[in-house]
Structure 1
């Protein structure tokens, strides 16, 4: 959770160093860091977060679409997915997508 540009973790999700953990935890961290970035760029993360339960995390990449045209939850998914793709390649991204889908 990242209201006001600060990251807050429940005790069971906090890790001292997310770079030394699973792909899933790294994806989660990058997703939350994108919310910090959104806050720093003027997005009302706290207010919009109240309604984020109704927002979809799924997205389709459109080469002509700027990142700011994706929803508040799609933007972090794009960034976190890109991070895994660059760090681990296609197989790393596919394994995270499969985990999120319950496979």
Structure 2
């Protein structure tokens, strides 16, 4: 276990690095990544929402784990989702800006900006999904067998699986589309 410093921040554990490497391979500088126990935006951030806009993962106390590699499958899903934002950040995406745009457009209301299933058959490339959709695609691909066996998702994920270092995989927009009712 890696101890928290005085700022409630710690490095990744060896288990967390191995877990992340199983998805992101060598595309991340794992030594630079920090996990913070506590909210990024106290009083505004919900207790069930983690945030990682600047290369540090911020987990509210209710979501924090001493070692995400030893945690429940839902906690590992969240870890891989947040690690996607670290991946996006390290490749140069301005998450704070894209997140603000998604929020201003109402994307975080009812979690609309995370939904990707309705777009899978319309999209050919990973970059056609916004930052939250990408993070959920990666986390779902990691956890759920049904997405790994879905040919269209395999096609969309292929470039990421083959080369997660590719900057061209980053979102080309901060859009989301409401699902048809």
TM-score category, normalised to shorter length: 0.7 to 0.9
1:43 equivalent in alignment to 2:93? yes
Compare the two structures and name the one with the higher helix fraction: 1
1:84 equivalent in alignment to 2:156? no
- Partners of 1:14 and 1:30 lie apart in 2 by 14
**Cα-Cα RMSD:** 1.8
**Residues 83-102 of structure 1 mapped to structure 2, 5 A cutoff:** 83-85=142-144, 89-90=145-146
- Partners of 2:142 and 2:73 lie apart in 1 by 10
- Per the alignment, do residues 62 and 8 of structure 1 end up closer, same or farther by CA in structure 2, a change over 3 Å counting? same
Higher alpha-carbon deviation: 62-71 or 31-40: 62-71
Secondary structure of 1:73's counterpart equals helix
Higher RCO, 1 or 2 (CA under 8 Å, sep at least 6)? 1
Pairwise CA distance, 1:62: 3.9
1:52 equivalent in alignment to 2:102? yes
TM-score where L is the length of structure 1:
0.73
Which residue in 1 is equivalent to 2:131?
72
TM-score where L is the length of structure 2:
0.44
Max Rg structure: 2
Structure 2: which 5+ runs fail to align? 1-50, 108-112, 147-181
Deviations 1:11-39 (A, max 9, x none): 22110111212111111111100011111
Structure 1: which 5+ runs fail to align? 91-103
Compare the two structures and name the one with the higher strand fraction: 2
